Amino acid sequence: MKDTDIKRLLYTHLLCIFSIILSVFIPSLCLENFSILETHLTWLCTCSGFVTAVNLVLYLVVKPNASSKRSSLSHKVTRFLKCCIYFLMSCFSFHVIFVLYGAPLIELALETFLFAVILSTFTTVPCLCLLGPNLKAWLRVFSRNGVTSIWENSLQITTISSFVGAWLGALPIPLDWERPWQMTVERKHCICSLQVPCMGLGTVI
């Protein structure tokens, strides 16, 4: 049973990676002048949509935490609405945290919010798919020695890795200060004001 879960988990992660790759190539077939760098906001929305859809389909098919109890349609609808509310709360919470750490409150607000959306996609969505809108289960999984299955162990690792990756992603930003792919000086200042305080290193300027 454990070997089967490992294989299913491996296929799940591979398909999630494949969905990210698809989010790069499929929009270029439908949209003119699509580029990750030049139209990064569009790509963030597309990537979030692809990853969320793949997660939903995979967890519905695999059902790692399938319950023996049959639930009514109203219960399923209520559960789905709760998951949507939790996801929106996660996006707004991350957005507020980024602003508190130095992101511009009004300028580049869309970029900051989409960053919160993409981070919620890689952290909150898998938690909702596996554990549902159950805060007690969330606290159990992310507490010490609270994992009871290989799926929960994977969820714990990938969620923490997403947060660490977002934090470490700020490290190279000051290094390409005068490179041609950087935008205007004012825009660079805004981006660094967002990322560098998140590292706890203080502001660049």
Average pLDDT, the chain: 78
Give the contacts of 87 (CB within 8 A, at least 6 positions apart). Answer: 120, 124, 125, 128
List pLDDT tens digits, range 118-145: 999 999 999 998 888 888 888 888 887 7
Average pLDDT on 164-170 reads: 81
**What is the residue type of 47?**
C
Distance CA 70, CA 62 (A): 17
HSE at residue 31, side-chain half, CA atoms within 13 A, is 16
The answer to which of 69-83, 109-123, 129-143 has the lowest mean pLDDT is 69-83
More confident of the two residues 172 and 19: 19
List pLDDT tens digits, range 13-35: 888 888 888 888 888 888 777 77
% residues pLDDT > 90 (the chain): 15
For residue 4 the two structure tokens come to 């089967």
Average pLDDT on 67-84 reads: 80
Distance CA 200, CA 202 (A): 6
User: Model's pTM, two decimal places?
Assistant: 0.76
